Amino acid sequence: MLAATATRSAFYFHEQTLWFSAGQSALVVPVGGWVQPPASGGHADSPEPKSRTVSLASVSGLFNAYDRKVAPAAPREALLAIHPASYLDRLKAASDAGGGALHPTAPFAGGSYEIALLSAGQALAAVTDVAGGGRRRAYAITRPSGHHCLPDTPMGFCLLANVAVAVRAAQAKGRKRIAVIDWDVHHGNGTEACFYDDPSVLTVSIHQEGCFPPGRSGGVESRGTGAGEGFNLNVPLWPGSGHAVYMAALEHIVLPAVADFAPDMIVVVNGLDANAVDPLARMLLHAGSYKAMTEAVSKLADAVCEGRLAVVQEGGYSDAYVPFCAHAVMAGLAGVSDPVDDPFMGIVAAQQPGADFNAAHIAALKRHHSWRD
Which of 156, 182, 178 minimizes the C-alpha distance to 168?
178
The secondary structure of 185-242 as a DSSP string is: SS--HHHHHHTTT-TTEEEEEEEETT-SSSSSTT-TT----GGGTTSEEEEEE-TT-B
Distance of CA 297 to the CA centre of its chain: 14
Q: Position 315: which residue type? A: G
**368 catalytic, yes or no?**
no
> What are the start-end ranges of the E strands in the chain?
9-12, 25-26, 29-30, 66-69, 99-101, 107-109, 137-141, 178-182, 201-208, 232-237, 265-270, 309-313
CA distance 373 to 356: 20
Which of 14, 147, 148, 252 does the annotation list as catalytic?
148
- Give CA–CA dist 146/116, Å, rounded: 9
Q: What is the DSSP string of 10-50?
A: EEE--GGGGG----SEEBTEESBTTBPPPSS--BS--SHHH
- Integer Cα distance of 227 and 224 in angstroms: 8
Contact 235, 253 (CB under 8 A): yes
- DSSP, res 109: E
Indicate which residues carry an active-site annotation: 148
